[in-house]
């Protein structure tokens, strides 16, 4: 069974703003486009402030950051401070132990100049050994539960880079959200994603998407065209539009764009006129997916 897609009645678009969708069972309404913290990584503070102000003005209210994104927290915290009460702020940790996760959470709160995160997530869970450590005695899940009880975080979630890990995490704990790659080339070319999204939807999780505008992984020794992306993003606006529309035609609340301002601008333009993919465009992507021999995910194809 395929996961049920979003229909026109499930999203709401305010005049002059981006469509907003409900995040699973949380009651939160997020813009369908998310602002990834990598956008401000290594930018001058004034440039970071301008990018955040532009995003808020365009109707983006979902911001996501992680300490592994270089100096993104140090740049995003001050830039976002004037709008903190108006946005949904998500953060992540790659720490797998309680001690490590607690320390990193508190540092992220200081960097981001906030007293709480709206969503805190285990970052990039890939191997089953990570699942076992997170969920075991002294694991990071203990830190998450304690932080929620203390009011440092409101909602709990995780991001995953493998189907096995994602399914195991959902089985072990009743999370609020899932952040997962929902990419046309991986979905159609390698059947990567459908069973995870179906399970998350069945459990009522809010579904957030990565890599909507990705095309493929970089070849060995290939020079990056986009320094902040470890993969090759869409090569044209037309392909980016098809990819983002594909992702947002699935049961996804919001998609995070690649970490360059050009893709933020493309994304805003695409979703301001967002329509579901037609059957003919879906078929076109199925054909294109066969041409992508190195999709971003799965990593072990």
The CA-atom distances, in angstroms, between 28 and each of 33, 88, 195, 249 are 14, 8, 24, 19
Count of alpha carbons within 13 angstroms of residue 146, beta-carbon side: 13
Beta strands in 75-165 (DSSP E): 88-93, 117-125, 153-160
Q: What is the pLDDT of residue 300?
A: 57
Q: What is the pLDDT of residue 16?
A: 52
Is the model more confident about 46 or about 219?
Answer: 46
Q: pLDDT-derived band of residue 28, with 50, 70 and 90 as boundaries?
A: very high
Is the model more confident about 95 or about 230?
Answer: 95
Count of alpha carbons within 13 angstroms of residue 191, beta-carbon side: 3
Answer yes or no: is 136 within a domain.
yes
Answer yes or no: is 273 within a domain.
yes
Give one DSSP letter per residue of 53-65, joined into a string.
HHHHHHT--EEEE
Answer yes or no: is 160 within a domain.
yes
Q: Which long-range contacts (CB under 8 A, 24 or more apart) does 146-153 make?
A: 146/98, 146/102, 147/102, 147/105, 147/120, 151/116, 152/105, 152/106, 152/109, 152/115, 152/116, 152/117, 152/120, 153/105, 153/116, 153/117, 153/118, 153/119, 153/120
* pLDDT (average), residues 2-28: 69
Range of the domain at 244: 27-289
Whether pLDDT at 14 is above 70: no
Q: What is the pLDDT of residue 9?
A: 35
Answer yes or no: is 37 within a domain.
yes
Tokens of 19: 């469509």
Number of domains in the chain: 1
Q: 63 and 250 in contact (C-beta within 8 Å)?
A: no
What CATH number is associated with residue 189?
3.20.20.100
Q: What is the pLDDT of residues 186-199, one digit of tens each?
A: 999 999 999 999 99
Whether pLDDT at 6 is above 70: no
Q: What is the pLDDT of residues 39-51, one digit of tens each?
A: 999 999 999 999 9
Lowest mean pLDDT, pick from 24-38, 95-109, 130-144, 230-244? 230-244
Whether pLDDT at 2 is above 60: no
Beta strands in 83-234 (DSSP E): 88-93, 117-125, 153-160, 177-181, 206-210, 214-217, 231-233
pTM over 0.85: yes
Whether pLDDT at 11 is above 60: no
Answer yes or no: is 14 within a domain.
no
Answer yes or no: is 13 within a domain.
no
* pLDDT (average), residues 119-128: 98
* pLDDT (average), residues 254-282: 93
Q: pLDDT-derived band of residue 12, with 50, 70 and 90 as boundaries?
A: low
Beta strands in 32-186 (DSSP E): 33-36, 62-65, 88-93, 117-125, 153-160, 177-181
Residues whose CB falls within 8 Å of the CB of residue 133, separated by 6 or more in sequence, listed in order = 96, 97, 139, 140
Whether pLDDT at 1 is above 50: no
**Chain position carrying tokens 């969920």:** 135
Residues whose CB falls within 8 Å of the CB of residue 234, separated by 6 or more in sequence, listed in order = 213, 214, 215, 240, 243
Pairing mode, strands 62-65 and 33-36: parallel
Whether pLDDT at 301 is above 80: no
Tokens of 65: 């950051």
Q: 196 and 168 in contact (C-beta within 8 Å)?
A: no
DSSP structural state of residue 277: P
Q: In the predicted model, what is the mean pLDDT of the chain? A: 92
Question: In the chain, what percentage of residues exceed pLDDT 90?
Answer: 82
Answer yes or no: is 271 within a domain.
yes
Q: Which region, left, alpha or beta, applies to residue 113 given φ > 0 means left and ψ of -120 to 50 means alpha? A: left
Q: 28 and 41 in contact (C-beta within 8 Å)?
A: no
Q: pLDDT-derived band of residue 34, with 50, 70 and 90 as boundaries?
A: very high
* pLDDT (average), residues 64-92: 97
Answer yes or no: is 79 within a domain.
yes
Whether pLDDT at 223 is above 90: no
Q: What is the pLDDT of residue 282?
A: 95
């Amino acid at each position: 069974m395929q996961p049920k897609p979003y229909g026109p009645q499930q999203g709401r678009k305010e005049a002059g703003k981006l469509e907003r969708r409900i995040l699973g069972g949380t009651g939160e309404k997020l813009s369908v486009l998310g602002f990834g913290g990598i956008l401000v990584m290594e930018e001058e503070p004034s440039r970071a402030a301008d990018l955040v102000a532009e995003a808020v003005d365009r109707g983006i209210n979902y911001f996501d950051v992680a300490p592994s994104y270089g100096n993104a927290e140090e740049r995003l915290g001050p830039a976002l401070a004037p709008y903190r009460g108006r946005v949904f702020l998500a953060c992540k940790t790659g720490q797998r132990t309680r001690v490590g996760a607690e320390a990193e959470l508190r540092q992220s709160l200081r960097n981001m100049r906030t007293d709480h995160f709206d969503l805190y997530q285990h970052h990039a869970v890939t191997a089953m050994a990570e699942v076992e450590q997170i969920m075991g005695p002294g694991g990071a899940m203990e830190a998450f539960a304690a932080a929620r009880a203390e009011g440092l975080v409101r909602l709990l979630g995780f991001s995953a880079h493998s189907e096995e890990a994602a399914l195991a995490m959902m089985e072990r704990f009743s999370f609020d959200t899932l952040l997962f790659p929902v990419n046309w080339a991986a979905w159609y070319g390698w059947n990567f994603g459908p069973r995870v999204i179906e399970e998350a939807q069945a459990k009522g999780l809010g579904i957030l998407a990565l890599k909507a505008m990705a095309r493929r992984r970089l070849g060995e020794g290939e020079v990056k065209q986009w320094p902040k992306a470890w993969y090759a993003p869409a090569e044209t606006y037309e392909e980016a539009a098809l990819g983002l529309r594909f992702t947002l035609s699935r049961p996804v609340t919001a998609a995070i764009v690649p970490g360059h301002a050009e893709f933020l601008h493309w994304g805003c333009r695409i979703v301001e006129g967002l329509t579901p993919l037609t059957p003919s465009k879906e078929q076109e992507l199925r054909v294109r997916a066969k041409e992508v021999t190195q999709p971003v995910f799965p990593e072990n194809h």
